[in-house]
Amino acid sequence: MSENLVSGVLPILALRGMTVFPDQTVHFDVGRMKSIKALEVAMKGDQNVLLVPQKDIVEDDPALSGLYPIGTVAKVKQVLKNQGDNLRVLVTGLCRAKIVELGLSEPYLSGSVEALPEMEAADNARNQALCREANALYGIYCELAEHPAQTVQLRMLSSKNPGFIADSIAQNSGIDYAEKAKLLCQMNPVRRLEATLRLLHREVEMLHLEADIQQKTHANIDQGQKEYFLREQMRVIREELGEEDEMAEFNEYREKIQALHLPKESEDKLLKDVDRLKKQTFGSAETSVLRNYLDTVLELPWNIKTKERVDVAQAAKVLNKDHYGMEKVKERILETIAVRQMAPELPCQILCLVGPPGVGKTSIAYSIAHSLNRKMARISLGGVNDEADIRGHRKTYVGAMPGRILSAMIQAGSNNPLLLLDEIDKMGSDHRGDPSAALLEVLDSEQNKTYRDHYLEIPYDLSDVMFITTANTLDTVPRPLLDRMEIIQLNSYTDEEKLMIAKEHLVPKQLSRHGLKKSQLKISDDAIREITACYTRESGVRNLERCIAQICRKADMQLVGEEAPRQIKVNGGNLEAFLGVRKFLPDRIPSNNEIGLVTGLAWTSVGGETLEVEVNVMKGTGKLELTGNLGDVMKESAHAALSYIRANSDKLGIEPDFYKTKDIHVHFPEGAVPKDGPSAGVTVCTAMVSALTGTPVRRDIAMTGEISIRGRVMMIGGLKEKTMAALRHGVSTVIIPYDNLRDLEEIDQTVRNSLNFVTAKTVDTVLDTALVRQPDIVTAMLADIPEKVKTKTRKPSIRQ
């Protein structure tokens, strides 16, 4: 090709990331202000400019030392304004040139430029062979790169100049920018072509490798996975280069699993899952499932234990500090701890704490965990009606997670915690399974060594876990589950126990919470007794604590007011100023002995209650009416009482045909409250006999007991709560079944000393004690009543 040698003073434009060769037409963008100024000067003159590649493409304002020694003199063919301040420039290279002397550096680069003539190449066979090889290899390159360059190839084929062919290949190929700058500086055309061929061979090899990589990648990716193409391409590239895959995460999983020293079956299963994870394609749904599964397994405390402190004396100290009273409960818990101290290899006993709300079941469990130095986690089972809540979901389901047992183990952080299964009596069951059945394995010391959660799929040892369950009643707990637990009954607090609990625990706690000092607020014993009698009426102390908190809030309001008192005293007289009007009026027994009105005793989940039974007898056709929201068992008790009365009407002094000529209406007041149970049988019978005979019933007496149709008085439950209710009601005598005589030992000493107890084997004893008969009848009946006997532990008599 003919040369256009241009020398003289020219504007200089530094090129970043590109090179322009002689006899090549190229367009590029210009954005630097110095480059724009240089173009403006060139356009005002002969449109020639020196294009010199810079060594560091990051440098924004290169000096002369930052430029390659040789550049290309080019003629500016076209300048177009691009978006912003950028310019799109079309230039044609004229000749190689070097900067002799730098004239200006601001506001643009310019200097004295000397053109470098192209060296002549010999027209011999070797040079011709080089040109042919270059043309052929460039054709292969264009085919592999899918680069349309027909015009360039035609110009190269029509030329026998090695320098021109080398410059054309370098300008129109993907050779590295730095290598192109070196080719521009090479003045020998033959050597330049040889170097270009070496670089082009490398480019062709890279294109072949890319084609192979793309072919392998497309074989592994279907139509719906095109978005993963780039990552698959990177993976195949690493394989082709012989580099090791990034195995850090998988190796970490393997090391953690092996460090657990699990049984071989479990370890092999987990390692197999790690291998499956390794084979997954990036972003697949199975990848996240496996990763979450392995993370959950490794979070479990397989070999983490807390050192257990089995010390009966220390445990007794903690229990006495945290809880007042409940001596038998504490004694039973200390016995369990003593067994652990003497035989630590035995599995932990599973305790079930049963009692009304608010008596301290959950807090006792926390105290046990504290005394044994075990970590604790609480699982609330109230309202759980899905078996998967206990055992977990299989990990194939979306959003699967382990059950509550293993989740609690992760929360506790040790494999020998104390797990509190709260409200075990309030679980339900439906079409999704029975959670109580899932607990059978958990609470069986022979089976929970290899407990299997649906999500975990490998056995987990729960034998070192101490389980404590709580319930308000055992009626709804399935028998197989109940058989696995040892029952510890927590009874209602007496009024004296509530007084001591309030003074020793509740009042100091609420004073601290409300920022009060003992000297600022004084709550008298009378006020606390008044709260328990007229504001709470509960088995536990939760509402009592709320009332104390309400008093503290009122006290805070007074102390921050303008006329703040130095001390606030709360007593029975000013209690309504803090708590409002009394919610419950004191129980009052009837002022007179009445006919057909009897006080019975009932047990509820929140303690004992008195239950009045009213009977009216009217002329009619023998109809028995039962009202008061009664259950089936209580209705059957009323019919049993009526059968007894009909069978013994002569002895009772009742007309034999009363069941034909009289209608009997039995009513239990507070009709909105559901009532059920057999223990009101003797109460109904006494009220019926009183109404049918017109005999009054003693107003100071209460009774409880189940009745048979032959007049036997049978055993009942909840005697402690019922007797406490009788004491609150103000009665002096309580009739109980003879078979409950042994239960008097469990009753609080204060209650025993305040009441007279009469034990009855038959209804005759109940009627003789409760009915106020005429004097002549009473005298006759006294012969059949045994003398009063005394118990070993109390002064009041127990009459049988």
Catalytic residue positions, numbered: 679, 722
DSSP 596: T
Residue 357 identity (one-letter amino acid): P
d(CA 334, CA 337): 5
Residues 515 and 745 sit within 8 Å (Cβ to Cβ): no
Q: At residue 402, what are phi and psi to the nearest 5 degrees?
A: -70, 165
d(CA 327, CA 730): 27
Angle at 608 between CA 604 and CA 612, to 5 degrees: 95
Query: In DSSP terms, which residues pair with 380 in a beta bridge?
Result: 422
Residue whose tokens read 């929201």: 629
Q: At residue 586, what are phi and psi to the nearest 5 degrees?
A: -60, 140
d(CA 133, CA 119): 21
DSSP 585: P
Helices 361-372, 312-322: axis angle to 10 degrees equals 150
Residue 65 vs residues 69, 110, 143, 786: alpha-carbon distances, Å: 9, 14, 39, 128
d(CA 438, CA 460): 15
d(CA 728, CA 759): 21
d(CA 721, CA 736): 13
d(CA 428, CA 413): 29
Task: Please list, in sequence order, all residues whose beta carbon lies within 8 angstroms of the beta carbon of residue 787, skipping any fewer than 6 positions away.
Answer: none
d(CA 746, CA 764): 27
Residues 330 and 513 sit within 8 Å (Cβ to Cβ): no
Secondary structure of residue 357 in the 3-state scheme: coil
Q: Give Rg (Cα) of the chain.
A: 50
**Long-range pairs for 619-622: beta carbons < 8 A, 24 or more residues apart:** 619/661, 619/662, 619/663, 620/661, 620/662, 620/663, 621/660, 621/661, 621/663, 622/658, 622/659, 622/660, 622/661, 622/662, 622/663
Residues 738 and 800 sit within 8 Å (Cβ to Cβ): yes
Helices 361-372, 327-342: axis angle to 10 degrees equals 30
